[in-house]
Amino acid sequence: MSTKGNYYITTPIYYPSSNLHIGHTYCTVMADAMARFKRLVGYDVMFLTGTDEHGQKIQKVAEEQGVSPKEYVDGIVDWVKNLWATMEISYDDFIRTTDDRHERRVQEIFMKINEAGDIYKGVYEGWYCTPCESFWTDVQLVDGKCPDCGRPVEKAKEEAYFFKLSKYADAILKLYDEHPDFLEPESRRNEMRAFINQGLEDLCISRSTFDWGIKVPLDEKQVIYVWLDALTNYITALGYPEAGDGIDQEKFDKYWPADVHLVGKEIVRFHSIIWPAMLMSMGLPLPKKVLGHGWLLLDGGKMSKSKGNVVDPQKLIERYGVDALKYFLLREYTFGQDGLYTNETMINRINADLANDLGNLLSRVVSMVEKYQGGHVHTPELPADEATINLDHSLKDLAVFTAKKVEGHMDVFAFNRALEEIWVLIARSNKYIDETLPWALGKDPEKAERLNTVLYNLVESLRIVSILIYPFMHYSADEIRKQIGVQDDEVVWTDAEIWGTQTEYNVVKGDSLFPRLDLAKELEALEALNKTPDVAEESDIAPSLGEVEAQEEIPELEKAAEEAIAAEVKPLKPWIDYEDFDKLDLRVGKIISAEPVRKSKKLLHFEVKMGAETRQILSGVAGSFTPEECIGKSVIVVANLKPRNMMGVESKGMILFADNGAKLGWVEADVADGESVS
Ligand code: ME8
C-alpha cells in the first residue's frame, strides 16, 4: 500500500536496431532496483521502459534483411521483452513508438506545438551525421566531424519542419539556475550550459527522405523525426494528450511530472534541452530530474566478441543467474561514472561478495541451526551477561540501522554504496560467528541457551539482510527467506528496522546460493562461449544482428553511443618500429604568448620558446583553453613536424595535448625549455 505518494521513473526507450547488450541492461537494472526500492518503501510507482522503433537506420537494416521495418523490429522487441521477463524487470508499461496509442498522440502533440507557434517549415542546410541522426552547425563540428561520434558528416539540404528550440535557450538556462537538481550530475549541467551558450539552433523535426516514421499531420510527405517521436513516449504512455480511449488521462495527472528520467550520458543533451523546451511549448510541467549515468566500456573500448568479452546479458544470466549479474552491475560501478567491464572483474565480484560473504553466511547459519538445534531457534529467554549483551548489541544495532543508511544512498542513486552498507552487515554477521564460536558452545550442554541465542541472532540478521537486498536481488532474498523459514510472504521494508519480528524459525537447508567459481575455468568458458555461434540467434532475423561484431560489418547500424564509447577509450594504433619513433624530434617548449586567431573559433596562436629559438605554433584548442591560462605552460612540442599554413599563418610544429575524446588536457613538462624528449 502506498503512503508516500507517486514515483515515476523511466529508462530510455532503446533502439531495436539490434539486440540489447550489457550497457542497456545496466540502465534497466538500475531503474528496476530503484522502482522496486521505492515500491518497498511505500511509493506508488510507475516504471516505464520501451523501444524507439522509427528512423532511417532501422528502415535500412530491414530492407537489407528483406523484411518490413515492422517485422524487423517485432523480432527484436520480442527478444528484449524476453530478456526483461527472464530478469523479472518490474516495469509497469512497455511503450513501443509503433504502438497506435503513441503514434496518434505524437501527431496530436505535433499539432499542439504548432498551435503554440513553435513549428515552421523551412529548409535546412547543415552538416548531417547519419549514425547519430543529428544536424550540426559549422561551429559545432570538431575537426570537420560529428562532435558526438567523430564520424564524417555530409552537407544536407531539404525542406523540413522546425521546432523553435532557440526560443527556449534562456528559459532552459534559467531552469538550470533555479532548479539545479533538474540535471545531475553537476558536470553534465555545466556541459549543457556551455552547449546552450554556443548558440542553440532550431531543431529539425521532420524528414522526407525516408518514410519509416509517424506522418507529420500537416504534410503527408514528411515523417516526424526521431527526437520528437522518442522523447514524447514519456507522456504518451501516460495517456497524454487525450482522455478516454481505454487509457485514462488520470494516469497522466497522477504521475506527471516524472520524478526521474534515467539516461546514458550521451543522450543527456536531448533530455535536458530539447525535452524541457518541448514541454514548455506544450505548457506542461517539467520532469523533476534528468539523471545521466556513465557508460560501461569494454576492453579496448569496443564491444566485440573477438576481444573476449561476453556482452550478451542472456549468456551471462544462463551461466551465473539473474541476481549475480544484477548485483555485479549495481555494486561494481559508481553512478554517473564510466566503468570498465571485464569477465574477470565480474567473476571476482561474484566470488568475493556473493559466494564468500552472503552465500557462506547463509549456509553456515542454516547448517549450524540444523546441526545443533534440530533446525529450530526461538527468541532468547535468558538474559546474558554484560559482555555477551554488548556483543549481541553490536550486531543488532548495526542490523536495525542499516535500512536508514541504504535509504540515504538510494536517495542519491548510489546503488553501490547502498549495497556496500548491506555487506557491512553481512561481514559483521560472519564475524559474529567467529566471535561467538557456536561449534564450541555446541559441545557444552550448559551453553545450550546461549547457543540458541547466538543462532537466533544470526537468523534474525539474515532475515534483515533478505529485506535489504530485496530491491536488488529478489530471487536470493526469497531463497534466504525460504531457507531460514520466514513465515511472512510479503517483504515489508520497515521490518528491517525491527529486531525480533519473528519469535521462532524452522530452517531448512537448500541449495548453495552462489557456488564459488573457478576463475581460470570461467574465463576460459566465457571465451569459448564467445566463439560459439548461437544457433537460435542466427536462424532468426532480428537477433542475427544482435552481435556487435555484426554491426561492425554494417556501419550504418552502429549507434552513436557505441561509437562514442569507442571514441572515449581509443583503441591502440598498430605497433611501430623504433626507427619510426626515432624520426620524431620532441622538445620541451614554454608558451610565452597566446592569442586567439581572427575569424577562427578553434585556433589559438602560440609563441613557444624552445631554448634559443622561439616559434609560432597554431593549435585547435580554443574550445578547451583560454589564451590566459596557456601562458607559462611548459609543453611537449613535435618540433620537426613540417610547417603548415593555417588561416594564412605559418605554424611550425605541434603541441601535444591529452585528449579523452570529450576534452583536452595539458601534457606538461617539468624541465627547462629546449630540452629534448626521448
Ligand atoms: O539512444 N553503457 O537508444 P539506445 C551504459 N533510442 N549504458 C549504455 C551503454 C553502455 N555501454 N550502451 C547503451 C537511444 N546504454 C534512443 C533513446 S530516449 C527518449 C531515446 C544505455 O538503444 C544508456 O542508458 O542507443 C543509453 O542512454 C541508452 O542505453 C541508449 O540506448
Residue carrying C-alpha cell 532468547: 380
**How would residue 404 be classed by pLDDT, with cut points 50, 70 and 90?**
very high
Contacts of 580 (CB under 8 A, 6+ apart): none
Handedness of CA 184, 190, 191, 194 (dihedral sign): positive
Buried b (16+ CB within 10 A) or exposed e, 503-539: eebebebeeebbeebeeeebbeebeebbeeebeebee
Q: Is 295 in the pocket of ligand 1 (CB under 6 A)?
A: yes
**How would residue 493 be classed by pLDDT, with cut points 50, 70 and 90?**
very high
pLDDT above 90: residue 30: yes
Ligand 1 geometric centre to CA of 98 (Å): 19
Contacts of 578 (CB under 8 A, 6+ apart): none
Rounded Cα distance between 651 and 645, Å, is: 6
Q: Which helix (H) or strand (E) holds 297?
A: strand 296-298
Q: Is 128 in the pocket of ligand 1 (CB under 6 A)?
A: no
Q: Is 469 in the pocket of ligand 1 (CB under 6 A)?
A: no
**How would residue 117 be classed by pLDDT, with cut points 50, 70 and 90?**
very high
**Over the chain, what is the mean pLDDT?**
87
Cis peptide leading into residue 241 (ω within 30°): yes
| C-alpha pair distances (Å), 539 with each of 81, 214, 535, 536, 542 | 19, 31, 6, 5, 9
**Mean per-residue pLDDT for 129-149?**
78
Rounded Cα distance between 191 and 165, Å, is: 18
pLDDT above 60: residue 536: no
Q: Is 311 in the pocket of ligand 1 (CB under 6 A)?
A: no
Residue 132's pLDDT is what? 67
Do the bridges between strand 44-51 and strand 93-96 make them parallel or antiparallel, or are there none, so unpaired?
A: parallel
Residue 531's pLDDT is what? 62
**How would residue 554 be classed by pLDDT, with cut points 50, 70 and 90?**
very low
Task: Say if residue 92 is exposed, middle or buried (CB neighbours under 10 Å; 0-12, 13-18, 19+).
Answer: middle
Q: Is 27 in the pocket of ligand 1 (CB under 6 A)?
A: yes
228, 110 contact by CB (below 8 A): yes
Index of the ligand 1 atom closest to the CA of residue 14: 22
Buried b (16+ CB within 10 A) or exposed e, 556-586: ebbbbbbbbbbbebeeeeeeeeeeeeeeeeb
pLDDT above 70: residue 671: yes
**How would residue 109 be classed by pLDDT, with cut points 50, 70 and 90?**
very high
Rounded Cα distance between 24 and 312, Å, is: 10
Closest of 379, 241, 317, 283 to residue 526, by C-alpha:
317
Closest of 597, 584, 598 to residue 636, by C-alpha:
584
Rounded Cα distance between 371 and 359, Å, is: 18
Do the bridges between strand 260-264 and strand 219-224 make them parallel or antiparallel, or are there none, so unpaired?
A: unpaired
Index of the ligand 1 atom closest to the CA of residue 559: 25
Q: Is 240 in the pocket of ligand 1 (CB under 6 A)?
A: no
Ligand 1 geometric centre to CA of 563 (Å): 12
Rounded Cα distance between 249 and 220, Å, is: 28
Of residues 18 and 495, which shows the higher confidence score?
A: 495
Rounded Cα distance between 475 and 481, Å, is: 10
Q: Is 341 in the pocket of ligand 1 (CB under 6 A)?
A: no
Index of the ligand 1 atom closest to the CA of residue 303: 11
Index of the ligand 1 atom closest to the CA of residue 266: 27
User: Which triple of cell numbers denotes residue 45?
Assistant: 510507482
User: Which triple of cell numbers denotes residue 507?
Assistant: 530452517
461, 392 contact by CB (below 8 A): no
- Please tell me the pTM assigned to this model: 0.77
| C-alpha pair distances (Å), 130 with each of 55, 146, 179, 558, 559 | 10, 10, 34, 10, 10
Q: Is 267 in the pocket of ligand 1 (CB under 6 A)?
A: yes
| Residue 345: other Cβ atoms inside 10 A | 14
Mutate to test the pocket of ligand 1, among 10, 22, 27, 551 (most ligand atoms within 8 A of CB): 27
**Mean per-residue pLDDT for 253-258?**
96
Residue 384's pLDDT is what? 66
Residue 546's pLDDT is what? 22
| C-alpha pair distances (Å), 159 with each of 106, 133, 214, 219 | 21, 16, 17, 11
Q: Which residue type occupies 482?
A: K
Which ranges of 321-385 would DSSP assign to H, the alpha helix? 322-332, 343-349, 360-373
| C-alpha pair distances (Å), 53 with each of 13, 73, 104, 223, 228 | 9, 7, 15, 13, 13
**Mean per-residue pLDDT for 452-457?**
96
Of residues 148 and 254, which shows the higher confidence score?
A: 254
Residue 61's pLDDT is what? 86
pLDDT above 90: residue 255: yes
Cis peptide leading into residue 12 (ω within 30°): no
Contacts of 380 (CB under 8 A, 6+ apart): 449, 452, 453, 456, 457
Task: Say if residue 218 is exposed, middle or buried (CB neighbours under 10 Å; 0-12, 13-18, 19+).
Answer: middle
Rounded Cα distance between 189 and 128, Å, is: 25
Index of the ligand 1 atom closest to the CA of residue 27: 24
Q: How many CA atoms lie within 13 A of 173 on its CB side?
A: 12
